[in-house]
Structures are given as structure tokens and as C-alpha cells.
Amino acid sequence: MSETEQKPQQEQNRALTQEENIAWQREAFQNAQKHLAGKGIMPKTIIEKDSRYLSPFFAVWKIKSENGKTYWVISGRLPTDHIEVSAAPNAREAIRYFSFQWQMKAEQIMKAGAKDKTQVDFANLLVNRAQGIYEFYEKDQLWGNE
């Protein structure tokens, strides 16, 4: 369990100071980079204008890699994941894509007869986070022209 998940719920829900927000974004970005590197993808540049930050919940990064491909990477208080940019035209649609993917992954885990508590907990986490990010997807006021 991360340090963020251990903090009391009311502390997690308060507004972040500017310094905390910067630190949170830095940590979320480092997690996104680590995730890609773990998949053998070396990040080259971040496309800042297309990335979105909803701290302290999650960030969606548009990252161009050294292999020439571009990816959406989601990180924060949820599983870090990535997709090729061709799967979603913008950050909002990437969030919807991740939401659907996580629900399908959770269903596959459960259909495979997950008996291990860790697997069941992970499937439940995926469903919970999928529902949470979909709520952000539905909020038009967050997205402007996307």
C-alpha cells in the first residue's frame, strides 16, 4: 500500500498546496516513466498540451517514446497503465478506454476463477478505479473542447 493510500481519507480529499501539487505531478510522471521503461519503452518527450492532471487523483500523460511511437499513460491513485495513442484521440477518450479495459481485465481475472486474495483484491481495485475515472470522463466541465 502506498503512503498516499495510507493517509486518512479526509486528508486525501483536501486541496493540495501548490508545492504539494508540483510534488504529486512529479511523482505521477516518474511512475509513468517507470511503467513504460518496465515495458521496454523508453520515454523521450512529454506532449504537455495534450496531457491532463487531475491531482491528487490521476494524470494522463501523452508521451512520445524513443521508438517513435506515442502513448497515453495514466498514473496516480490507480494502477499505472498505457495504450498507444491510436487507441484514443485525446486524454478524455483515453480515460474512457482505460476504464473499459480495466473492467474487462477484472472480469477476466474473476472468470479465470481467481481464488488468491491478491487477485480478487486487484480485480476489485480495477473495477473501483474504472468506475471512478469514468465519472471524471463524464464531467464535461473538466474537458472544455475535448
State pTM to two decimals: 0.84
Write the CB contacts of 64 (distance below 8 Å, at least 6 apart in sequence).
43, 44, 45, 46, 47, 70, 71
The DSSP call for residue 122 is H
Task: Return the pLDDT at 13.
Answer: 58
Residue 2 has pLDDT above 60, yes or no: no
Q: What is the pLDDT of residues 32-49, one digit of tens each?
A: 999 999 999 999 999 999
Q: What is the pLDDT of residues 59-70, one digit of tens each?
A: 999 999 999 999
Neighbours of 13 (CB within 10 A): 8
Q: What is the pLDDT of residues 87-135, one digit of tens each?
A: 999 999 999 999 999 999 999 988 888 778 898 899 999 999 999 999 9
The C-alpha cell of 136 is what? 471524471
